[in-house]
């Protein structure tokens, strides 16, 4: 298995009019057999990085190593793509429409000059693992989205690659089968222990597949951590917002009886002691709750009285906007599993 190391990998696209720094000194180490995720908004440089690792493009500066072997450096392709032993699945899956599933999967084996029997065994084995044995003689148009994706995955895996690259592999699937597709990829990665890099703009992909993840924003790697740490300790507000909605507020620091609060209108948010007079708060919606009760147990702190201003509903949750009783200016959004009436007075809590 292979460890992937990038040293100051930089990619600059130059055209007559402008220069785009797609990757800016990316330094990372992906361990052998690891399932690594890369999260970043559209245009962050994710696909560019995958193409450089695959050998479809070269870095403008910096070096790429597989274990101790230098595979690419400053505009030099040292190991060509066909010698990198990489399996890749793109967002579009890129199946050949005029070939059956079997022939699509067989395609990468053509260069190996193996016997028909050997080829058949490899294809049957991988088809079995992916649950597509019964559709091998179908054409892509005769397959469901989930089956097409599994054919693309089988094609990427049939040569026993040492690195698997998945570029937004789930975004073309129906939302209702995305979870099972993620679980399948996670299971196969775990069984085969292939060094796997999954890039996506969707944190759900990263949370379900990656043991560790890097966050790329504007071509820069800004954080590498376990997904749970990226969630709980995002390094910037921008990173925090890639993972979910935030309530953002400007607070004034007040000390009361030895405790520190960030005060916003009539709301007082308990926070750790800090040496500042003002603070910008970013609060995850799931860490806020409203209730008629005056206490919700030891995990929840009372922030203050609030009035329901707007209430909407989507996919099983009520999105409720509350404001302080005295004015309409400070809006706080909470996600609740039951409805509240506009105008209702409640208590606002934070976890």
Q: For residue 75, state whether it binds ligand ADP (rule: CB under 6 A).
A: no
- The helix-helix angle for 175-192 and 145-157 (nearest 10°) equals 20
Angstrom distance (rounded) from CA 6 to CA 64: 5
Q: For residue 48, state whether it binds Mg ion (rule: CB under 5 A).
A: no
For Mg ion, the nearest residue by Cβ is 47
> Residue 194 binds what, of ligand ADP, Mg ion, none (CB under 5 to 8 Å, by partner type)?
none
Torsion from C-alpha of 46, 67, 126, 114, nearest 10 degrees: 120
Residue nearer to Mg ion on the CB measure, 13 or 313: 13
Stretch that binds Mg ion, among 42-50, 116-124, 232-240, 326-334 (CB under 5 A): 42-50
Q: For residue 10, state whether it binds ligand ADP (rule: CB under 6 A).
A: no
As measured in angstroms, the least distance from the Cβ of 46 to Mg ion is 5
Q: For residue 198, state whether it binds Mg ion (rule: CB under 5 A).
A: no
Residue nearer to ligand ADP on the CB measure, 9 or 44: 44
> Residue 33 binds what, of ligand ADP, Mg ion, none (CB under 5 to 8 Å, by partner type)?
none
- Asked whether the beta carbons of 2 and 177 are under 8 A apart, the reply is no
As measured in angstroms, the least distance from the Cβ of 199 to Mg ion is 7
Residues contacting ligand ADP: total by CB under 6 A:
11
Site track for ligand ADP across 16-55, x = CB under 6 A: ----x-x-----------------x-xxxxxxx-------
As measured in angstroms, the least distance from the Cβ of 171 to ligand ADP is 11
Q: For residue 59, state whether it binds ligand ADP (rule: CB under 6 A).
A: no
> Residue 105 binds what, of Mg ion, ligand ADP, none (CB under 5 to 8 Å, by partner type)?
none
Residue nearer to ligand ADP on the CB measure, 33 or 41: 41
Q: For residue 58, state whether it binds ligand ADP (rule: CB under 6 A).
A: no
As measured in angstroms, the least distance from the Cβ of 166 to Mg ion is 11
SS3 of the chain: the string is CCCEEEEEEEEEEECCCCEEEEEEEEEEEECCCCEEEEECCCCCCHHHHHHHHHCCCCCCEEEEEECCEEEEECCEECCCHHHCCEEEECCCCCCCCCCCHHHHHHHHHHHHCCCHHHHHHHHHHHHHHHCCHHHCCCCHHHCCHHHHHHHHHHHHHCCCCCEEEEECCCCCCCHHHHHHHHHHHHHHHHHHCCEEEEEECCHHHHHHHCCEEEEEECCEEEEEECHHHHHHCCCCHHHHHHHCCEEEEEEEEEEECCEEEEEECCEEEEECCCCCCEEEEEEEHHHEEEECCCCCCCCCEEEEEEEEEEEEEECCEEEEEEECCCCCCCCEEEEECCCCCCCCEEEEEEC
> Residue 108 binds what, of Mg ion, ligand ADP, none (CB under 5 to 8 Å, by partner type)?
none
Q: For residue 47, state whether it binds Mg ion (rule: CB under 5 A).
A: yes
Q: For residue 198, state whether it binds ligand ADP (rule: CB under 6 A).
A: no
Angstrom distance (rounded) from CA 55 to CA 81: 5
Q: For residue 13, state whether it binds ligand ADP (rule: CB under 6 A).
A: yes
> Residue 307 binds what, of ligand ADP, Mg ion, none (CB under 5 to 8 Å, by partner type)?
none
Contacts of 19 (CB under 8 A, 6+ apart): 12, 13
Residue nearer to Mg ion on the CB measure, 33 or 43: 43
> Residue 22 binds what, of ligand ADP, Mg ion, none (CB under 5 to 8 Å, by partner type)?
ligand ADP
Interface positions with Mg ion (CB under 5 A):
46-47
Interface positions with ligand ADP (CB under 6 A):
13, 20, 22, 40, 42-48
């Amino acid at each position: 298995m292979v460890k992937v190391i990038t040293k100051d990998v930089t990619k600059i696209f130059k055209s007559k009019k402008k220069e785009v720094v797609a990757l800016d000194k990316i330094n990372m180490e992906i361990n052998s057999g690891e399932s690594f995720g890369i999260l970043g908004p559209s245009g962050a440089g994710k696909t560019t990085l995958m193409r450089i690792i695959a050998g479809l493009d070269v870095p403008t500066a910096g070096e790429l190593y597989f274990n101790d072997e230098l595979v690419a450096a400053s505009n030099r392709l040292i190991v060509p793509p066909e010698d990198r032993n990489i399996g890749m699945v793109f967002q579009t899956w890129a199946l050949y429409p005029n070939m059956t599933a079997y022939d699509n999967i067989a395609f990468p084996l053509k260069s190996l000059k193996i016997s028909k029997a050997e080829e058949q065994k490899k294809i049957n084995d991988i088809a079995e693992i992916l649950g597509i044995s019964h559709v091998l003689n179908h054409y892509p148009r005769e397959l469901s989205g989930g089956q097409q994706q599994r054919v693309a995955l089988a094609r990427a895996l049939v040569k026993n690659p040492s690195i698997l690259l998945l570029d937004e592999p789930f975004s073309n699937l129906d939302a209702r089968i995305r979870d099972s597709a993620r679980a399948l990829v996670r299971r196969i990665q775990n069984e085969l222990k292939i060094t796997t890099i999954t890039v996506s703009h969707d944190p759900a992909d990263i949370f379900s597949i990656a043991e560790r993840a890097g966050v790329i924003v504007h071509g820069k790697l800004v954080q590498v951590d376990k997904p749970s740490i990226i969630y709980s300790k995002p390094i910037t507000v921008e990173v925090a917002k890639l993972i979910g909605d935030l309530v953002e507020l400007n607070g004034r620091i007040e000390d009361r009886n030895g405790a520190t609060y960030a005060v916003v209108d009539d709301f007082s948010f308990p926070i750790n002691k800090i040496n500042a007079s003002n603070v910008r708060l970013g609060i995850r919606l799931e860490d806020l709750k409203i209730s008629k009760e005056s206490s919700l147990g030891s995990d929840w702190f009372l922030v203050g009285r609030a009035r329901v201003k707007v209430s909407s509903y989507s996919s099983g949750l009520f999105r409720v906007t509350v404001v302080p009783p005295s004015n309409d200016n400070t809006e706080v959004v909470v996600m609740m599993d039951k409805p509240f009436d506009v105008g209702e007075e409640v208590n606002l809590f934070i976890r």
